[in-house]
Chain A
């Protein structure tokens, strides 16, 4: 039990645990102290100084985010001294900031703007520093745009990249008035170790880091009558989109989203969940095939453990950081890219449309998907498989632009073909979901029975622990899988690249003996993706996860191999898992990239 500390905040007595910060103690008293550099997911920086408070007996003010409580402390959060200082600090930040709010992409969702509004900052008190600066914009990346003129140096991005992702593509460079957030040798984001995960984007309080948006390109495609525009929606979008459209966190809006997309004018509204199911079939068979080659054929070239390949942030991370393990990555493309390749082949054939006239758009919780779609590997349909990737946020913008009353839209169903999916597919959006879906299918393929978990819910791989291990004993197998009899399938799930590093280091150092590894670049999996509504924190991610598992539980079919459209695509087009057509369209390889 933590020691209890008594203190007074704004005259009110409160007792809290030792080690609590003043900021958190004040929150318990429903006192809101404004913050900028503070973020729930990150270590305390205490550098913006917006949250300063007055402490009785102290000459200076203290940053409430960094100051732990002490017995008998008396704190004022809104004294004249505090208000004057806080106002000065906001004015100083604004003087250094390119405050052309009306033309800023983050207009309306900017913490600095909100603060300026709260404090009714009027005519500029201090000299505008922007003309004295040599600010630059890095707009080379297809995923992320970095505009230094909007940066307030809170270092949330730096801490995110280092603590959560162990990437450190962004760091602090120079000092004093020239201090800035930059990359290795100030190279463009596109040319450094950045994984495009966008975790910095969802934590940037201003418009300094934003996604590259393709909203106008997509509108142009929609209004181009010669084009047939198909859209796919990733699993995690449906549990977060509502947040940007005035609905409560954790709202499940699948049906409304489908209606909205149709109203926006997409010719066919389809589901990435379909190719998530397809991924399970291909990846599940790939795993079983690797196991067979290793155990039966004693093939020394086969690489185990096998890792998932759905997360493009993870792919770029392994290309830079563990290139020696690239052959351990499943050759399956991500569901987005499988969908793209099939949209311009299978779908085009079935619907009798010239693939040259198909524009394929995807709605993703992710900024790295934009980079993934631009990869040279992703043109196996003969065209660019996915033309435009929009984040959940960009879709919300389009819905607002179209004047749709989202909350009151009727619910409707996905189009066919490639719109049908199962509960196994929707849980791809949460950490552990791919593992759970794969196990539901692989176990059944091998044993002919359902996974031995109550209600198909493989709880050991669920939840927000950074690294989750689970082992499944395989018994009473079908004759063709006799080599797996009695084997224990060892799996591990990691989310957030810092956790990925832990798993990969254990593998490299021979400290772990896994068969199958699921890694998602973002904390919480795709539901916490860099393309999701802002803000993010553990509570928000947990609510989205609840919605995802609710969607799974409510689905009539919850195993990928039972998806009727999947059965049909193998009958009509792909013929068999890992077959010739699959290899041509659904599988790929990645390349080593340098660390610097």
Chain B
């Protein structure tokens, strides 16, 4: 047991921060300098997939097509995550600022925030702050505008290409990749699409320089991250923590003393059982997360937890590709049948093989991850599935 408290970080919500000054500073730099600074910081996408932000911006900026877009993915739909809501509520200027810096790098004239349908209540204040921000842009003679587009509540629209489809007024279904958004994204134009938190970090790196960010975290997971902590914890909420901690360290601080498992990364993430707390690092070298940390104590049935997740995906799959659409239905009916004794426990092995197929054949990143919770829960809590 370690007794050190986890290091709190205050970059995202840092109060003493002038968007105007940071933008002026960014405009004093060349595009290459901005990209190099970002590359040096080691910032990876905070939505979960972890693609290096600097490269995304660089590739997009290099495209011959000059009509390019920056889109902020604020379709925060993963069960158990609520940090983007807080960021947009408390420090929206920083999100706008991150988008503006990106716009400088990729020479975009328009940016969009795709806001989760359920966050509509944020819209009036967001637009008010956006108006004020646009005035700052005018003062600085920066030819860039941001518009907020409302989602309609489909989880799948958080997948970047489904998000583009939705923005274009079409049904939110993921596209085939390649081409990737850096080449063909919104309106089939080169597009940077970043998570809310990523954009704020990019902005704050602009303020403090790469070193301050780089000093935090590990070689694979640089910097800090905002976590949404929920479940069986006495202190649920939003915490910005240095990356590189183990699940054990996390549980010591946030658990209720009776923690049985932590679901890292939401319904599409991985379940870490108590016996693996010590050996599991939260980050790209261990279990990656978009920020969702759900803590379960010994009173919880992991069967119910899993069933809840699968039901979520059964409904929220877009339904176009076979492995995700039919796979989710089979996983749900399968564990029900085993629980009721209608199928032999060995059927779980058959379903585990199915999750392998789902992971490698689904059309989009979300479809490839829907089975993560299944495989990690069934592997670690098999007896709870059967009895």
Contacts and interface: CB of A to CB of B under 8 A. Distances in A.
Q: Say whether A and B bind each other.
A: yes
A176 B314 contact: yes
A193 to B, nearest CB: 18
Nearest to B333: A127
A89 B361 CA distance: 9
A446 B337 CA distance: 79
Contacts of A52: 360-361
B171 interface: yes
B326 A92 contact: yes
A126 B318 contact: no
Nearest to B315: A176
What band does the interface of chain A fall in when counting residues whose beta carbon is under 8 Å from B? 35 or more
Contacts of A48: 321-322
A96 B333 contact: no
Contacts of A176: 313-319, 325, 328
B326 A175 contact: no
A125 interface: yes
A175 B329 CA distance: 13
A175 B363 contact: no
Given A49-B361, A60-B360, A88-B357, A177 B319 contact: yes
Interface in A116-163: 125-127, 129, 132, 152-153, 155
A92 B327 contact: yes
Interface in B322-367: 322-323, 325-330, 333-334, 337, 343, 350, 353-354, 356-357, 359-363
A179 B320 contact: yes
A56 to B, nearest CB: 14
Given A68-B178, A153-B320, A81 B360 contact: yes
B328 A92 contact: no
B361 A61 contact: yes
A508 B320 CA distance: 37
Contacts of B368: 60
A282 to B, nearest CB: 45
Interface in A58-115: 59-61, 63, 66-68, 81, 84-85, 88-89, 92-93, 95-96
A47 B363 contact: yes
Contact of A179 (B318, B334, B362): B318
Contacts of A14: none
A373 to B, nearest CB: 36
Contacts of A153: 319-320, 322, 325
A178 B178 CA distance: 28
B318 to A, nearest CB: 5
A514 B374 CA distance: 63
B102 interface: no
B326 A93 contact: yes
Contacts of B330: 92, 95, 126-127, 129
B92 to A, nearest CB: 30
Contact of A172 (B171, B317, B334, B353): B171
A47 B316 contact: no
Interface string B18-57: 0000000000000000000000000000000000000000
Interface of B: 154, 156, 171, 173, 176, 178, 313-323, 325-330, 333-334, 337, 343, 350, 353-354, 356-357, 359-363, 368
Leading 4 A-B pairs by shortest Cβ distance? A179-B319, A66-B176, A92-B326, A88-B357
21 contacts: A45-B320, A48-B322, A49-B322, A49-B362, A49-B363, A52-B360, A61-B361, A63-B176, A85-B360, A92-B326, A95-B326, A96-B325, A126-B334, A126-B350, A127-B337, A155-B320, A175-B156, A176-B313, A176-B318, A177-B319, A177-B328
Given A47-B320, A49-B363, A127-B337, 16 more contacts: A47-B321, A47-B363, A49-B323, A67-B178, A81-B360, A84-B357, A89-B361, A93-B326, A95-B326, A96-B326, A127-B334, A172-B320, A176-B315, A176-B316, A177-B328, A178-B315
Interface of A: 44-50, 52, 59-61, 63, 66-68, 81, 84-85, 88-89, 92-93, 95-96, 125-127, 129, 132, 152-153, 155, 171-172, 174-179
